[in-house]
A and B are shown apart, each in its own frame.
Chain A
Amino acid sequence: MTMLRIFLVEDNEGDVLLISEALEELNIPLHITYAKDGHEAVEFLEDCLCTEYGSIPDLVLLDINLPKKNGQEVLQFIKSSNRLKQIPVIMLTTSSSERDILESYQNHANSYISKPMGPESYQDILQKIESFWFSLVKLPSKV
């Protein structure tokens, strides 16, 4: 199984810890990269563009309320780049605001998921993300 690269853009350390723990529990080979604000996220993605395709993430988990550059701006950056726009971007956020949901899809987010509020845990959510995006769905190869 090839190593899956996940790029997590999240400013809240608690959530980073919870998400990474849940990702580790998936028991699949993963490489997780973090960015703690929008500016750092865009810098990382720009660096990816300068290097070979291998370092480009397979999936982006993106929070909306981020310092410096918000999640919508990061999303716009990804979706306006010819080499990045095919990456599935999943908005993972606390906001359940209709405005944020609409704006995310208008900016071509691939899905919008609320951070677990009910009995569903991060583990359940990430398991579903993994089984959908990496088992069921066919993604373009990077070469």
Chain B
Amino acid sequence: MKTSIKISILYVFVGILWIFGSDILVLYFFQGIDPSILTRYQSFKGVLFVVLTGSLLYYLMDKHYRYLDGKVQELEKANIKIEKERIKSEHARNQLDQFILVASNELVEPVRQSHGFLELFIRKNKDNLPEKSISFLELTLDNFYKIKDVIQDLVEFSQLTEEREVPQLVDLNEVLEKAVHLNSRKFGGGKIDLKKGNLPMIKGDYKRFLQLFDHLLNNAFNFRDPSRPLKIEISVSSADGYQTIAVKDNGIGIESENLDSIFYILQQYDQGLIKRGSGMGLAICKKIIEDAGGKIWATSVLGDGSTFYFTVKEMVSGSKTEDE
């Protein structure tokens, strides 16, 4: 029960008890007394009631305020603790970012050079060494490509924290066109079947949105279904001051339980097994979009394809219409 209701009930109870009880007492002790003296006693009784209830009210309110003070102090202590924890976790996050930055940059040099020397060695000794030895070395070379991919992703990821540009007016149509152009050789000389709607103008970092489209297109390409030609459809919808851009492909699709974890650097599976995901591309996309104040998510039908959605803040000005 609320304290205010408790106090009010107590007050009413004491008041009623006083009115009836005191009248009975006065009549018992001062029976047959002069009515003018009785009136004076009644007044005195009224004053005593006010003093008594006033004291009671003071006591209860004081007790209540003390209780509230205690709670406020507890809250303040909790706030200080939360703030300390926040600073600690921010510090840990910065340390982690720094660690990724340093580790990835420190790894670049030795990995790049070892790869270079190995490649040089294979090239110079291809005719002198047994075929089997060469194939072992070539397998090692393949592993270097994989290591380099991981390091490159890490460098790119850490640069997102390090380098921030002043937001500028960016036409997403142009950004997409550039991303397609940059990948045209990989995608088979521009033969990619890409349909796109009217992409908006946004305020953001051109390079980052280029990275975003680059990763999304590469993701669609890397997880395409080999039994059918890759189709990508990019559409836009608008709601509540945000525009949602959907990048739909007809690839192999993603299992529903992995739809969230694909956006994290590491994917955790059952029995605590941690495995690197399909590269850091989508984690980079998530960071780019969240830094720009948007959201990114995916839906998928296994075997049919996936759709990646991201939101950008809507701008008042229009955008170009163009179809590829």
CA distance A123 to B162 in the complex (A): 32
Task: Given A117-B152, A119-B145, decide whether A94 and B116 contact each other with a Cβ distance below 8 A.
Answer: no
Contact A121 B119 (CB under 8 A): yes
The size class of the interface chain A forms with chain B is: 20 to 34
**Chain B residues touching A, majority SS:** helix
Residues on A with C-beta less than 8 A from B116 are 14, 18, 116, 121-122
Q: Do residues B159 and A97 form an inter-chain contact, with CB atoms below 8 A?
A: yes
Interface assignment of A43: CB less than 8 Å from any CB of chain B: no
How far does the alpha carbon of A122 sit from the alpha carbon of B109 in the complex, in Å? 14
**Contacting residue for A117 out of B105, B148, B163, CB 8 A:** B148
| Interface contact A94-B112, CB-CB below 8 Å | yes
**Quick one: closest A residue to B145, CB to CB?**
A119
Considering only CB atoms, which chain A residue lies closest to B155 in the complex? Answer: A96
Shortest beta-carbon distance from A117 to chain B in Å? 6
Contact of A98 among B105, B117, B207 (CB under 8 A): B207
Question: How many whole Å from B178's CB to the nearest CB in chain A?
Answer: 15
Interface residue A115 (Cβ < 8 Å from any Cβ of B): yes
Give chain B residues whose Cβ lies under 8 Å from the Cβ of A12.
Answer: 109, 113
List the A side residues contacting B108 at CB < 8 Å: 94, 117
Does B120 lie at the interface of the complex (its beta carbon under 8 Å from any beta carbon of A)?
A: yes
A104 → chain B closest CB, angstroms: 15
Interface string of A96-134 (1 = CB under 8 A from B): 111100000000000000011111011100000000000
CA distance A116 to B145 in the complex (A): 11
A123 to B119, CA, bound (A): 10
| Complex CA–CA separation, A94 to B62 (angstroms) | 71
Known contacts A14-B117, A18-B120, A96-B155; A115 and B163 CB within 8 A of each other: no
Bound Cα distance A119, B118 (Å) = 12
Report B156 CB to chain A, min CB distance, Å. Answer: 8
Q: Which residue of A lies closest to B151 (CB)?
A: A117
A21 within 8 A of B: yes
Q: How far is the CB of B221 from the nearest CB of chain A, in Å?
A: 16
Chain B residue contacts of A122, Cβ below 8 A: 116
Complex Cα–Cα for A96 and B113 (A): 17
Q: Is A15 an interface residue (CB 8 A)?
A: yes
Instruction: Kindly report which residue of chain B lies nearest to residue A17, judged by CB atoms.
Output: B117
Q: Are B148 and A118 in contact, CB atoms less than 8 angstroms apart?
A: yes
Contact of A115 among B112, B152, B165, B207 (CB under 8 A): B112
What 0/1 readout, one digit per residue, does chain B (147-187) give for beta carbons within 8 Å of chain A? 01001100100010011010000000000000000000000
Tell me the nearest residue of chain A to B105, going by C-beta: A94
CA distance in complex: A99, B163 (Å): 8
Residue on A with the closest CB to B108? Answer: A94
B163 touches A116 (CB 8 A): no
Q: Give the complex CA separation of A98 and B165 in angstroms.
A: 10
In the bound assembly, the distance between CA atoms of A115 and B109 in angstroms comes to 9
CB-based contact B163/A98 at 8 Å: yes
With both beta carbons as reference points, the residue of chain A lying nearest to B144 in the complex is identified as: A119
0 or 1 for each of A1-15: is its CB under 8 Å from B? (1 = yes):
000000000001011
Docked CA distance A97–B145 (Å): 21
Q: What's the least CB distance linking B263 to chain A, in Å?
A: 23
Q: Please, which residues of chain B bring their CB within 8 A of the CB of A22? A: 120
Task: For the complex, give the distance between the alpha carbons of A60 and B109 in Å.
Answer: 21
The residue on A at minimum CB distance from B111 is A117
Q: Which of the residues B109, B117, B159, B163 comes within 8 Å of A94, measured between beta carbons?
A: B109
Are B112 and A117 in contact, CB atoms less than 8 angstroms apart? yes
| Interface contact A15-B113, CB-CB below 8 Å | yes
Instruction: Identify the interface centre among B108, B112, B148: most chain A CB within 10 Å of its CB.
Output: B112
Q: Considering the complex, give the chain A residue whose CB is closest to the CB of B142.
A: A119
A115 to B113, CA, bound (A): 10
A-facing mask of B117-156, CB < 8 A → 1, else 0? 1011001000000000000000000000100100110010
Q: Which positions in A face B, CB cutoff 8 Å?
A: 12, 14-15, 17-18, 21-22, 94, 96-99, 115-119, 121-123
Knowing that A15-B113, A94-B112 are A-B contacts, what are 16 other residue pairs whose CB atoms are under 8 Å apart, sorted by A's residue number? A14-B116, A14-B117, A17-B117, A18-B113, A18-B116, A18-B120, A94-B105, A96-B155, A98-B207, A99-B163, A115-B112, A117-B108, A117-B112, A117-B152, A118-B145, A118-B148
Q: What 3 A-B pairs come out closest when comparing CB atoms?
A: A14-B113, A18-B116, A121-B119
A-B contacts, 8 of them at CB < 8 A, read A14-B109, A14-B113, A14-B116, A21-B120, A98-B207, A116-B116, A117-B151, A118-B145
